[in-house]
Amino acid sequence: MTFINVDKENSGSVDLYFEDHGRGKPVVLIHGWPLSGASWEKQVPALLDAGYRVVTYDRRGFGNSSRPTTGYDYDTFADDLHKLMTKLDLRDATLVGFSMGGGEVARYLGSHGSKRVSKAVFMAAITPFLLKTPDNPAGVESGVYDGIKKAIAADRPAFLSGFLAKFYNVDSLKGTKVSDEVVRLSWNIAAGASPRGTLDCVQAWLTDFREDLNRIDLPTLVVHGDDDRILPLAGTGKRTQEIVKGSRLAVIKGGPHGLNWTHAEEVNRELLTFLAK
């Protein structure tokens, strides 16, 4: 397995696990919470077959990466990504952020600029701003996130089961678009993540990315399902597209939050068409 060191905690190093395959223009795939780079299983082969270099990595605390007790904020996440981009000397890259990973894309471009990046994709992304405030009335009350934190702290495995049912819209898509085994695989990956990291990331969800999005001047694609129960389209995908100048919104009909698995064919078509332009 391949790792890059990004930080240190006491006597231990903080290392990110990554995979780097293929040749061509690089595409960096950034996973969502509480999964890992393995969640791109249906995108990696399509991208490799189309002639791209594909880089996936596990966010700190998740997958095969180190599990520190610090650093679960978007400034640190963006710095981690920057260290990976620099170490691999990636240039003319496309950043693809799914769900929580959309925050890395926004904060990376807002903080580190686009020197190494030529395109951006926000897929079922957390952007622009989830918290309800006087200047963000479309957001969600803070008490909702307090409830999520309490549920994770009380019984993380049980919370993950309920979360993943909504993630894949299991009640309507089971047996047609998603199997019990896929949900079980996702649960196994999620349950293996850092308990501290899983919990602390909830606070990171409340990051305001509006200024980061305003700074983006790259070709940008926003992909979102119209049946996303985790991050509904109206409050996230549509608003992200409205903020990022010149971006395009691709709405996947019937797509749940985990649309990169359930609607992989449609998602891959949109992604490859965008990359080819």
Catalytic residue among 15, 224, 228, 263: 228
Over residues 166-203, the pLDDT tens digits come to 999 999 999 999 999 999 999 999 999 999 999 999 99
- At residue 1 the predicted structure's pLDDT band, cuts being 50, 70 and 90, is confident
| Structure token digits, residue 124 | 């079922």
Catalytic residue among 31, 82, 257, 263: 257
Q: What integer pLDDT is reported at residue 2 of this predicted model?
A: 97
Q: Is 132 left (phi over 0), alpha (psi -120 to 50) or beta?
A: beta
Q: Write down the mean pLDDT value for the chain.
A: 98
What does 187-208 look like in DSSP terms, one character per residue?
HHHHHTS-HHHHHHHHHHTT--
> CA angle, 152 as apex, 149 and 183 as ends, to 5°?
130
Over residues 257-274, the pLDDT tens digits come to 999 999 999 999 999 999
Q: What is the rounded average pLDDT of the residues 33-58? A: 98
| Structure token digits, residue 44 | 């990696």
Task: Look up 228 and say whether it is catalytic.
Answer: yes
Over residues 69-100, the pLDDT tens digits come to 999 999 999 999 999 999 999 999 999 999 99
- C-alpha distances in Å from residue 126, one per residue of 13, 193, 234: 29, 20, 12
Q: Taking the C-alpha atoms of 41, 116, 201 and 57 in order, what is their torsion angle to the nearest 10 degrees?
A: 30
* Alpha helix positions (H), the chain: 44-49, 74-87, 101-112, 142-167, 170-173, 180-191, 195-204, 210-215, 237-243, 259-262, 264-276
Task: Look up 161 and say whether it is catalytic.
Answer: no
Q: What is the CATH number of domain 2-276?
A: 3.40.50.1820
Task: Look up 257 and say whether it is catalytic.
Answer: yes
Catalytic residue among 99, 186, 194, 247: 99
